Structure 1
């Protein structure tokens, strides 16, 4: 094995500045795409009234974004490895920003849905390669843990801030501004990315450019997200038929990758116990957190009687707590105790928060029935997410970093969509059942939410058990 006596390269102050400046750029682009996934929720009634959406058609304001976003993450993550991650990231910012302008000036349902789909494409292009770029920028474990904590804090805070900003912008300026606000952010982030991010040569389009495999996996993922987000709008037979078709496409993709000379997705990636286990745990954890975010907002509005802006303020402590904990404690805690123990501790806090929420009384008070579990969930997520991200990316080789990043983002979208569809369907079904027994609307609604919170707590328990069994470090 060759050796060298050369000392390791020193990191100069300018190089350090460039790396942290690059992290700021990556976080800004990610924040914009994450905000847009949640910011429309509070504005939906205003959009429906202004553009004349039907009830079922209104759901496509969200679905049109989620389907291409979730379906393309894996493909564009691999294309980022091949063509260069900076190129993919900057192209994604450009597409997302242009699509935001179209959405902001939309005068009819068709144009808005098309613009949302284009936002989903741009969001996938920008998001899929970020973790791969981050790991390459910060190879040293301590700095990498700190950078992942910053990135995770931005992502988590962005998801929670979406509800607040959606309510504030819609109430103050109109729903158009939930999209137009992306223009100055997107242009600034694009200019900064072009100037600050270091260009890198990809592996080359001829290495791994398996276009039939790309078509199969993209179709399978898009169909999976479509099945999940639309499960409540179609019958059981239709849902199962589409799910079976998605499985067939996934099976064909796996066979293609096993035989292709230059596969899009190297199946060896899944031999990593840590990478595979971390993605599986993420599906369950994000399903819990997305369910809390959506159903928690509904509980505060429909049961406690909060308005749009008040609901946004009610959830504001979550991103503040997540940001402070991730930036102040997360990296140091992971450095001291290791990501495995920190992940388990975070999941325990999430379970405790969901268990408290499962009380959800009809005459509840924000200070006693919402804020304490909200802070527990924020603390748990602040601990668990950076630890889980570090574990997932540690299981991938350097040449597969973009693909691993795309995979991690894909399981995040699938987990969120799955949790949202399952928990909202459970809550609605339970409410209808209780109403049929003659119970008043408010108690029946609260009963439906209580069931959803209990199931979410059970999903978090499953995540804890899976993490304990699969991600435990092996003794040397």
Structure 2
């Protein structure tokens, strides 16, 4: 049962500020593993396959936590559930920072994955606590801090791990999360629940878990599927079974975790398709650019150190930080369709530019900065489009699935990038050919450009 929305409270900039700072802190903690994965493999004496498991542990648990957090936030109040989640995240950060081996570190990362659920909760709070005309910009600010925090984590993880130890790269962001959570608890007013049916659809959660895990399994085993086609058959059959079962359960559940009727709305399903496509293109650039900086190939690459790479990515971090507020302002003034069209156009141009022009460091610096800005603007516009296309009682549920799809998109893009570079590495060498980078960037630009066809149809029959 959906309760009528309460009048928005005048919370002021301080409340938006503390939620944004918390988003930045968890974004930082989320991103420290990826740039230091080779170092962690050396320090913990783990294989590349085990390193790959470490790199996706948080993504998997985060994708599973987000829908539950969104439902709980709709039904119990966003602030209360956010505090609970941050306790779990802080515990995970502490476990990770003290981990003596891979199993303990994996457990810590699994706990940290609960942070993904904080994003739909922050969107719930912004819609509840702010007037309608102000909430899009506030959502953009929170999204921008999360993206900016992710870039900050990418920048500082290497220097901290090399200068202190890899334990500190978990400990420092965890301390920031704890401090920000205390401020959220003290500054943010309590919000009233918008749903009275507080039951969680556990069968739906279990089946969605199966979908995510099977999808990740398919990506992880993709390089071996050519030699073992049975793996492909098993992955496809399992995925189809889980999807079919999830749809059947959600249609019949008295209190479903996701109301499938929302998917009948063009604004919702198109937002999900766009989120996946845009994140695939963005993930390819996130994966490829640092490697192109670091590689020293035959006539290409720059042989950059971890510190150099962090410095080169600094402009992209700045662009990511302002992309959320810019996306919120642009959406409020011009509408999400216009913002998405411009953002996707910039992303496509940047990817094509880096594919064929990457002979100087500044070529990649500028291209990556443009991509970070455009990607952040697009994701913000999509989140706002999704959040404002449903009633207040469904905000967390609808936006949480955006985050699940975001995770799947990033995982897909990274896997595609790795597969293309592996296929483009000559026999007897560990350095991919330059043509492999070109091909990967072109694939990313094609996927991104094709999403424009979805954007063109977004406003048909839908009032912006």
Q: TM-score, normalised by structure 1?
A: 0.88
Tell which deviates more after alignment, 380-389 or 248-257.
380-389
How big is the shift at 1:189? Answer: 1.8
Distance 1:170 1:213, change over 3 A: same
**What's the offset of the Cα at 1:57?**
1.1
Q: 1:340 corresponds to which residue?
A: 337
Partner of 2:409: 415
Choose the corresponding residue for 2:76, options 80, 83, 87: 83
How many angstroms does 1:461 deviate by?
A: 0.5
Unaligned runs of 5+ in 1: 1-7
2:345 matched to 1:357? no
Could you tell me whether the CA contact under 8 Å between 1:80 and 1:129 is conserved in 2?
yes
Asked whether 1:315 is paired with 2:287, we answer: no
- 1:370 has 2:364 as partner: yes
Report the Cα distance in structure 1 between the residues aligned to 2:413 and 2:195, rounded to whole angstroms. 37
1:179-258 alignment runs, 5 A limit: 179-202=170-193, 206-229=197-220, 231-232=222-223, 235-258=228-251
Q: Post-superposition shift, 1:424? A: 1.9
Q: Residue 254 of structure 2 corresponds to which residue in structure 1?
A: 261
CA deviation string 1:367-395 (max 9, x = no partner) = 2x212322332342343232222212121
2:3 aligned residue: none
CA displacement at 1:236 relative to structure 2: 4.4
Alignment of 1:107-118 (within 5 A): 107-118=100-111
Question: Hey, what's the Cα distance between the residues in 1 that align with 2:76 and 2:239?
Answer: 28
- Whether the aligned pair in 2 keeps the contact of 1:132 and 1:404 (CA below 8 Å) is no
Structure 2 residue aligned with 1:296: 289
Q: How far is the alpha carbon of 1:355 from its aligned partner?
A: 0.4
Please give the residue correspondences for 1:318-467 in structure 2 after superposition, counting only pairs within 5 Å: 318-324=316-322, 326-327=324-325, 329-359=326-356, 361=358, 364-367=359-362, 369-429=363-423, 431-432=424-425, 435-436=426-427, 444-467=432-455
CA contact (8 A) 1:171 1:309 kept: no
Residues 123-181 of structure 1: per-residue CA shift (max 9 Å, x gap) = 1332342222222223422x123212212221222232222111221222121111101
Deviation at 1:229, TM superposition (A): 4.7
**TM-score calculated relative to the size of structure 2:** 0.90
Check if 1:104 corresponds to 2:102: no
**Whole-Å separation in 1 of the counterparts to 2:417 and 2:459:** 27
- Matched residues in 2 for 1:251 and 1:378: separation? 36
Structure 2 CA distance for partners of 1:201 and 1:333, relative to 1, 3 Å: closer
Q: Which moved more, 1:220-229 or 1:42-51?
A: 220-229
How far apart are the structure 1 equivalents of 2:233 and 2:57? 21
What is the Cα deviation at residue 416 of structure 1?
A: 0.9
CA distance in 2, matches of 1:78, 1:244: 29
Q: Which of the numbers 160, 165, 171 marks the counterpart of 1:169? A: 160
What is the rounded CA distance, in whole Å, between the counterparts of 1:144 and 1:231 in structure 2? 41
Asked if structure 2 preserves the Cα contact closer than 8 Å seen for 1:72 and 1:218, the reply is no
Q: 1:160 is matched with which residue?
A: 151
- Matching residue within 24, 27, 47 for 2:40: 47
Residue 275 of structure 1 contacts residue 394 of structure 1 at CA under 8 Å; is this kept in 2? no
| Deviation (angstroms), 1:220 | 2.2
Q: Give the direction of change, closer, same or farther, for the CA distance of 1:473–1:339 in structure 2 (3 Å limit).
A: farther
The 8 Å contact of residues 340 and 473 in structure 1, kept in 2 or not, is answered as no
Q: Structure 2: 5+ residue runs without aligned partners?
A: 1-5, 296-300
For the 8 Å contact 1:95–1:119, the answer to whether it is kept is: yes
Runs of 4+ aligned residues of structure 1 deviating over 6 Å after TM superposition are none
CA shift in 2, pair 1:360/1:236, >3 Å: farther
- Contact kept in structure 2, 1:130 and 1:405, CA below 8 Å: no
Using a 3 Å threshold, how does the CA distance of structure 1 residues 374 and 209 change in structure 2: closer, same or farther?
Answer: closer
Q: How many Å separate the matches in 2 of 1:50 and 1:358?
A: 34
Alpha-carbon distance in 2 for matches of 1:128, 1:279: 15
Task: Mark the CA change 1:259 to 1:53 in structure 2 (over 3 Å): closer, same or farther.
Answer: same
SS at match of 1:396: coil
- How many angstroms does 1:86 deviate by? 1.6
Within the alignment, does 1:126 sit opposite 2:118 as a pair? yes
Tell me by how many angstroms 1:360 deviates: 5.4
